[in-house]
Structure 1
């Protein structure tokens, strides 16, 4: 058999076959004219060496397996020396994995340190400590404006069903519970984190960008909203509570976030959602709730970094 045929059967190049031969892994016979004559066994040896090498075993480390085949065994790993080769390869991978894991942990720590170093979100009166480019309340110019698609037309006057949602303050919150004052619930897609990228194309989705800016706006207007008749201000998204708790602590929000990972509220009352990066997210919408009934709806919302002021003006214009 010629070298080209061996290479074809083994799925390698002729150069690889010659390399294995120089290492002594295969020893083709010689014809009378001096040409090499490769056998079926040589082709199998090359295939085995290639397969083992692709598993991470160095080419030199395949020798015990090939010797096992050369000794007449049916499988390359029928010999004790082959099992030792497996163990050596596993030990080598374990060392490399541990080293890579430690390196990854160090890089992750550096990323978080660098990302959060300038992510301080100031309270009112602390703006002088912020660099404009680092202010989470600023939004890029040219963001697409969401249009009213009618997805919230049915919500005003709707009685909320019984539903408890986990809160970053601990326990759960029942939105349907009647009370003498209003509850402001603003639903948002997701808040970004300094060490985590938002979904690809996020800024091109109308109404998607601006969750952190909106949270800061509600934070800065919180006391005014309460004074204007809001008993509670609550954020709501489909992120889990642990994710939301990082945001409330980093932005120092004076109100809790509610987690609806299963989109239960969307199913029960038909809140609008959209898809991004394989996830279902809430569209930006704000509900004014009074005595368990949705009294007023803000939808669509733009710009999100000025929305709390819009809610405040409505509360002033519509005293309970």
Structure 2
């Protein structure tokens, strides 16, 4: 067969086939007119090279697999040399993963430092209102009861709902990916100069959104190392309000805005009213492959909740298939 037909059947370019030939991985016959003449075995070899390359094995290191096929083995990885090539490729990928993880950790550290540096003239710990600092919790807050309002959530699929994040992107909740995503849902975050709803401290589970956010900020790197792919805060506050909180508190993760409480309506999440406004009750979802693995509810005390989530992640590593 001609090179164009081989390339089409193996789903590669003719340029790729010529490159494989230059490495001696594919050796076509020659017709009387000098044209290359490829056989069915060449199609299989090229497909094997392509499949191995997609796994991260460099083209020039596919030779043991091709020699295994040439020796008559039904599979390219039936030979000891093929297994050794697998191990070498795994070792190389492991080194790259470790190097990338180190770079990621450095970037996260730089992000946290830069976010704190640019958080404003007044450090967060000095920010407060007449009612006291949003970073501290008043004594004797009422403890929310476990009313079973989140018991139905584990095993539930996330809805095809798109929410705007603080980076201005629409995030589809049913497309969060195979790695675990931690979404802590809270009623509203106070900020200096803004009054909280009347009677806020007397509503079980209402007070403590800022300390909770700071806890996830401080444990962010730990959560990633424990297997979380992403962390989001979620509330019904608008994106501009949430952006102010992200900048002031130096949060290394984004917030999701759900002003219509669409997630509550889709999943039957618990809500409450304050000053005539419907708000989310505090809870946290651990989502993997678009399915809720675990739900934390009630959440108390909120300033220790990030540590509770971290402990759960460490105690419940994801099952591999």
- Counterpart CA distance in 2 for 1:181 and 1:234 is 14
SS at match of 2:124: coil
- Counterpart CA distance in 1 for 2:268 and 2:244 is 28
- Counterpart CA distance in 2 for 1:295 and 1:301 is 17
- 2:297 corresponds, among 296, 299, 303, to 299
Number of residues paired by the alignment? 198
- 2:139 corresponds, among 109, 120, 141, to 141
Task: Name the counterpart of 1:232.
Answer: 230
Task: Name the counterpart of 2:103.
Answer: none
- Counterpart CA distance in 2 for 1:247 and 1:196 is 12
Q: In the TM superposition, what whole-angstrom CA distance separates every residue of 1:282-317 from its partner, at most 9, and x where no partner exists?
A: 000000000000000000000000000000000000
Using the TM superposition, give the Cα deviation of residue 178 of structure 1 relative to its aligned residue in structure 2, in angstroms: 5.0
- CA RMSD across the alignment: 2.2
Task: Name the counterpart of 1:163.
Answer: 161
Using the TM superposition, give the Cα deviation of residue 179 of structure 1 relative to its aligned residue in structure 2, in angstroms: 2.0
Matched, 1:176 2:169: no
- Counterpart CA distance in 2 for 1:184 and 1:174 is 14
Q: Quick one: structure 1 residues 117 and 250, their matched pair in 2 at CA, closer, same or farther if it must change by over 3 Å? A: closer
- Counterpart CA distance in 1 for 2:127 and 2:204 is 28
SS at match of 1:160: coil
Would the aligned equivalents of 2:134 and 2:191 in 1 still touch at CA under 8 Å?
no
Q: Give runs of aligned pairs for residues 1-320 of structure 1, distance below 5 A.
A: 120-121=123-124, 136-320=134-318
Q: Quick one: structure 1 residues 203 and 119, their matched pair in 2 at CA, closer, same or farther if it must change by over 3 Å? A: farther
Q: In the TM superposition, what whole-angstrom CA distance separates every residue of 1:192-221 from its partner, at most 9, and x where no partner exists?
A: 010100001000000000000000000000
Using the TM superposition, give the Cα deviation of residue 134 of structure 1 relative to its aligned residue in structure 2, in angstroms: 7.9
SS at match of 1:271: coil
Using the TM superposition, give the Cα deviation of residue 121 of structure 1 relative to its aligned residue in structure 2, in angstroms: 2.7
Q: Quick one: structure 1 residues 251 and 178, their matched pair in 2 at CA, closer, same or farther if it must change by over 3 Å? A: closer
Moved over 4 A (4+): 116-119, 133-136
Structure 2, unaligned runs of 5 or more? 1-118
- Counterpart CA distance in 1 for 2:284 and 2:295 is 6
Structure-1-length-normalised TM-score: 0.59
- Counterpart CA distance in 2 for 1:300 and 1:151 is 9
- Counterpart CA distance in 2 for 1:165 and 1:117 is 27
- Counterpart CA distance in 1 for 2:236 and 2:132 is 26
Q: Quick one: structure 1 residues 178 and 216, their matched pair in 2 at CA, closer, same or farther if it must change by over 3 Å? A: closer
Using the TM superposition, give the Cα deviation of residue 149 of structure 1 relative to its aligned residue in structure 2, in angstroms: 1.1
Q: Quick one: structure 1 residues 117 and 150, their matched pair in 2 at CA, closer, same or farther if it must change by over 3 Å? A: same
Task: Name the counterpart of 2:105.
Answer: none
Would the aligned equivalents of 1:273 and 1:282 in 2 still touch at CA under 8 Å?
yes
Q: In the TM superposition, what whole-angstrom CA distance separates every residue of 1:154-190 from its partner, at most 9, and x where no partner exists?
A: 1111011111100001211112115231000000000
